[in-house]
Structure 1
């Protein structure tokens, strides 16, 4: 029977692996979509400048549509009716600078997937902690899930092929799962799934969590009045060599545990309570 921390570690790392797989699939599918869009633009520009397009009403409708269409049997000047025997709608809008924005959109999605994969791998951690804190180790998985959902929604909002469609839907589902996990574990999600923190916890002799409750020893500093009454050892030795500060140091550091130290503590509002004098119950009266 494994402790609950082990189940959390295994479950969070399974989600991490699924997230990396989804990001890799989206990376590959967007490259394929980018290639198809470029091919569609090249064929569209060729059809726009050809003489056959002016004599065919179907080709004229293609030039006036909202999105550029990818024609695979182009050109066949002997039989213009075969121009649209095999075609697929692209994601490039037929508007001014539509080609630029479509290509830029794919490049940005590819770059975001690369950054998210590196964030899931935890390398380089210092880079993310400094420049992208929401993807660093001090934040949870909620921000990562939101970015994954945004990427998936941006892809699913266009007409894409089956491979890109499944990859984007898978990434959107993993993003929703990361948001849910981030709401549960908050900023401790990445520390619970970290392999290095697991090893450090295994090396420690005392447990830090028992039944999900932190039991780590709490280190507290000594009260400030102790250093004021009894003085600092280093300060006492450093100031003892200086004659001008010897009197002030002796007044602060040489009170000791006697009556003078008790008076100095009482003047600062600290009193030492004495136990009540009493005899044990078995003592004879």
Structure 2
């Protein structure tokens, strides 16, 4: 079964959107895990527990051992969480009017380039610290998807989101099959006499319609004598 080219574009862009949402959700979950681990490590450090082997970071955390380090580390994770939530909502295009008005670069009038740059920034921010396997894989996955979205944005530009939109795809496929108007056939019903209903035909033939027309004109039809016998 062969599909039109726009169908393949629609499917491909929506696969990229699904990967983008999955990557953002993974980074969201991993950021919560990292933030919880950092808070636990800071509590242990402040209580004097454990052996501090590093002079730059608190052990078993991404928190720098400096003034305000825990605050900025937690704030960084909270900002990442907020960004991932905003990007997920922009990917599912809800509420689209909100993004069109307050975040135009994530709205329907812009392509996927800005989204890809934001995803790359989030991924690079996570990868710039020493993290465990789960946050590492999630951040690398998000960075890769961000590069893909940048590429798609360069290819399709501002038309990328309209090409992947389900509602726009339905509108474009409404007129794929020819309608009755394309063949000059009217869907209007005629409730007048048979001569009006049958107007426009070249003849009435020998069927039921011809009998109705003859009866309407005052003619009586009789069967041939041979047929009657």
TM-score, with structure 1 as normaliser: 0.60
Which structure 1 residue ranges, 5 or more long, are not aligned? 54-58, 70-88, 208-285
How is 1:14-25 mapped onto 2 (pairs within 5 angstroms)? 14-25=15-26
Among candidates 128, 153, 157, match of residue 124 of structure 2: 153
Aligned residue in 2 for 1:26: 27
Question: How far off its partner does 1:63 sit?
Answer: 7.3
Distance 1:199 1:12 in 2: 15
| Structure 1 position 113 matched with structure 2 position 84 | yes
Which structure 2 residue ranges, 5 or more long, are not aligned? 179-229
How is 1:1-285 mapped onto 2 (pairs within 5 angstroms)? 1-47=2-48, 59=51, 62=52, 65-69=55-59, 89-204=60-175
Distance 1:182 1:160 in 2: 30
Distance 2:126 2:79 in 1: 12
Q: CA offsets per residue over residues 184-230 of structure 1, 9 Å max, x none?
A: 000000000000001111223699xxxxxxxxxxxxxxxxxxxxxxx
Aligned residue in 1 for 2:184: none
Aligned residue in 2 for 1:230: none
Distance 1:135 1:109 in 2: 17
Question: How far off its partner does 1:26 sit?
Answer: 0.2
Number of equivalences: 177
Distance 1:24 1:63 in 2: 33
CA RMSD of aligned residues (A): 1.6
Distance 1:124 1:2 in 2: 31
Greater relative contact order (CA < 8 Å, ≥ 6 in sequence): 2
Distance 1:90 1:128 in 2: 35
Flag the structure with higher strand content.
1
TM-score, with structure 2 as normaliser: 0.75
The structure 1 segments of at least 4 consecutive aligned residues displaced by more than 6 Å after TM superposition are: none
Distance 2:134 2:53 in 1: 27
Distance 1:41 1:136 in 2: 40
